[in-house]
A and B are shown apart, each in its own frame.
Chain A
Amino acid sequence: MGSFLARRLLAVLPVILGVSVVIFLLIQLAPGDTATVLLGPQATEDAKRELRHVLGLDRSLPVQYLTWLARTLGGDFGVSIATQIPVVDLVLPRFLNTLILAFASLLLCIVIGYTVGLFAALRSNSIFDRLTMSLTLLAGSAPPFWLGLILVLLFAIKLRWLPVSGMQNLAGEGGFLDFLRHLILPAITTALGPAAIITRIVRSSVMEALQQPHVRVARAKGLRRQDLIRRHVLLNALPPIITITGLQLGYLLGGVLLTEVVFAWPGLGSLLYDSITARDLPVLQATTLLIALAFVLANIVVDTLNALLDPRRREA
């Protein structure tokens, strides 16, 4: 197990390096010369000249990359053009908010997906099952940001049950309950798409496990239904379910980004959005880097979980 983790972490290093290259190159994509891009259109000619010297913009691209890499590894992500605050200070508090939303959505995803999928499989071809299939199809195909707005329309505007946006009461004095009220709609919005996919895979996986011959043999032994389902159906249905759940992380993270914008949730997603609007490229870079790293880490966790569950995967 330990060697698996070590090998996995080693394998991820070149990927992280590649990620850093991509992020570095992002600046090159922006129209205009780099110094202007980094300092903003308001910067003076002197400031730009100094920056060019400091960043070694007169040197070759690979050298620039290495310089940038060294600085980034040292924790210096540059300064935000829009606010002149060091990027690190802007980004870190928001990171936590995004994590909260992401975890809440993941939890919802799993709870909804696993229970609804299981019920649909055990009552296949019933009305519940058919309804579930239709709903998951819709939820999986709808634009998540639009679904969020529909939910806001329904629950926040028409029914007035939940707040429209933000993370807490404007006065900032709402307690945990108020925080939860603000969390519900964004979490559901983010969770719906992946939950739809998970529901479907749970349903098909359990249905397939139910067809296995050993299930009938177990029934013939006189086992109680709950033991039968637990030990002989679910245990065998689980591996593909876990794999697909892991694959949903990407969609989940993408959903979080858009949801934050819709609900003005103060996380990395809305920061990303603001930085694009303000053409604040250092912030854009740092935000993208952080989210990508989080994603890579999450994938390692998923792979480790998979390896724990299925000994055959440890060789991979």
Chain B
Amino acid sequence: MNVVSHKAGEITLQVRGLTTRFGTPARGATVVDGVDLALRRGRTTALVGESGSGKSATALSIMGLIEPPGRIIAGEVLLDGEDLLKLDEREMTKVRGRRIGMIFQDPLTSLNPALSIGQQIAETILAHQDVSEAEAKQRAVELLTHVGVIDAARRVNDYPHHFSGGMRQRVLIATAISCQPQIIIADEPTTALDVTVQAKILRLLHDLQQEMHASLLLITHDLGVVASMADEVLVMYAGRIVERADVDSLFHRPRHPYTKALLACMAGIEDDRSRPLEPIEGTAPDLTDPPPGCRFAPRCPVAEDRCRKQDPRLLAASDSHAVACLLAQAGPAHG
């Protein structure tokens, strides 16, 4: 399902040093810590990590949806050269939905129960385009058909509770792409859905992205989804990117111990059934009081003393592969 593009698509969204903090300067947690990422036209970038790693916070920061007590304290988010973090709320509403569309995690709670789904799709269109209500509704019907809702002309007047989870997610996808955004952010779009529906939704996302030639930022904790959808993968841990690689390199030549451990957690169909699944020991660090040195060190199976003292930065190991690990960068201390 991957379309391996031989030419690197142009960069549509460039994030540098994004840092978001919750709480007061005295007491708080930096949930997004100096994150860099670049989305390219027509390519899917996956952001992987466990719960609490800061993946969703990164997406919300890009969209400017961080609410107090959270604040974006540093970084830039460049969309077509314009820094979104410098825009005021009024200007930002013109970006949301129009140039960046976002799909959230739980379709069951993401729709307003008091409005029909047609109204909820149309209001996005009406907010950004100068069309009549009838035209917006017509476009909503077209969108619904396009995302695979049968009998769209009738169902456009139905309310969310008339739809199943998978159908609601299709509606939300239709809403997100209704104004042809350059960027689509999908935050765990299939986590709340049945397995059989997941594949269909992912396929839909992929097809739409290709059709619109948009950039897709796919946030997930499921490596299976990454394998089937992503061109480039960013692994996130405790608010930081610890590894960045194209999908083949990541799966075949992982460099960060955390990535290796994540891969080991998965069981492949071909695997020896007698081999036990290997969980990662320990729990994610408390971000209000992060450990000194490498944040993964307390749980790392190959951590050395210097890991606990020095904080590794994300360095490129090759053209398309970067890792934030002292051991991966310079090799083990001995041998």
Contacts and interface: CB of A to CB of B under 8 A. Distances in A.
Contacts of B128: 222
Contacts of B112: 214, 218, 231-232, 235-236
A214 B96 CA distance: 15
Interface stretch (B12-20, B44-52, B70-78, B101-109): B101-109
Interface residues of A, number: 18
Given A213-B109, A216-B104, A227-B123, A221 B97 contact: yes
A221 B63 contact: no
B96 A219 contact: yes
Contacts of A218: 112
A225 B89 CA distance: 9
B109 A214 contact: yes
Contacts of A216: 65, 104
Contacts of A227: 123, 127
A222 B98 contact: yes
Nearest to A239: B114
B267 to A, nearest CB: 32
A225 B112 CA distance: 16
B106 A213 contact: yes
Interface residues of B, number: 26
Contact of A222 (B93, B104, B110, B111): B93
A231 B120 CA distance: 10
A71 to B, nearest CB: 51
Which residue, of A213, A217, A219, A222, has the highest number of chain B Cβ atoms within 10 A? A222
A28 interface: no
Nearest to B105: A213
A221 B65 contact: no
Interface in B93-150: 93-98, 102, 104, 106, 109-115, 123-124, 127-128
A197 to B, nearest CB: 24
A214 B110 contact: yes
B20 to A, nearest CB: 16
A212 B97 CA distance: 19
B102 A220 contact: yes
B259 interface: no
B104 A217 contact: yes
B242 interface: no
A213 B93 contact: no
Interface of B: 63, 65, 89, 93-98, 102, 104, 106, 109-115, 123-124, 127-128, 172, 175-176
Interface of A: 212-214, 216-225, 227, 231-232, 235-236
7 contacts: A214-B113, A217-B172, A218-B112, A220-B63, A222-B124, A236-B112, A236-B113
